Structure 1
């Protein structure tokens, strides 16, 4: 029996699939955000986990930052280089007829917030 692929891909912020990447004391779920993962699977989406720029740049023992602290050419360059493999993967899916039509971020994140980011002086 051959299983037909959905050819649908969702891009998902790292900490939605792995809360362990979040700053200590900020997790509101124990492992992954089950509601998001469950909905994606129920609607037959494949999932690409985006890299966590803050984790990769600052490690696990970081403290809360705001978007203005990351708004510098050094962080921008680091994020661009870490996204290259993911962008190539996305391009390969699109080139082969897949739809990448969902981007799910995490509000309050200074680098992955969609509707709300932490901001301040």
Structure 2
């Protein structure tokens, strides 16, 4: 690892930084981006953010694919009037359309650029924290056919595939909102992916 920090006769990144980070779903740090009617916190998932801060782990905040591709109202101002999994299924269908899919690829590439740089310089990317039930960022569960089902969100699956193509195999854990989320993230930080999904 030291050789990865040796550049042009000097050692890089020898300051106070931990050189450890996770990739985190956007809405964990910014509830304002989440689809209407689904925010559980005024601003940030407090338990997860507190844990990462206490552990000295950096956070690479993933872009919100739904916001970037569909807008804050997800293309339908009446979305909050439907059950969450029904609205999530609609969002998933919209994200599968060619225009949104092309934007997803660009978002994945942005994240890959950052992950490559951290990896190239010997930083430890401990894993990905997604949000279960999400049509884009679900890890163990997503929304399809009007219900929560086993599977990954569209963005997260593309991201994991792209990382693997680069030789970066990252563990991923999905959380929902509540204090048990921090326990799942703590397991990820210890190198153990929780066995039971947070559903």
What's the TM-score once normalised by structure 2's chain length?
Answer: 0.56
Residue ranges of structure 1 left out of the alignment (5+ in a row) = none
Question: Is residue 12–residue 48 contact of structure 1 (8 Å, CA) maintained in 2?
Answer: yes
Deviations 1:19-47 (A, max 9, x none): 01111111111100010011111111100
Aligned length: 120
Question: Is residue 10–residue 102 contact of structure 1 (8 Å, CA) maintained in 2?
Answer: yes
1:34 has 2:42 as partner = no
Higher relative contact order (CA 8 A, sep 6+): 1
Q: Which moved more, 1:50-59 or 1:65-74?
A: 65-74
For 1:3 and 1:91, the matched residues in 2 are separated by: 21
Aligned equivalent of 1:95: 120
- Structure whose residues are more often strand by fraction: 2
Taking the TM superposition and a 5 Å limit, the aligned residue runs for 1:1-121 are 3-62=15-74, 63=79, 64-66=87-89, 67-120=92-145
For 1:74 and 1:120, the matched residues in 2 are separated by: 22
What's the TM-score once normalised by structure 1's chain length?
Answer: 0.88
CA RMSD of aligned residues (A): 1.7
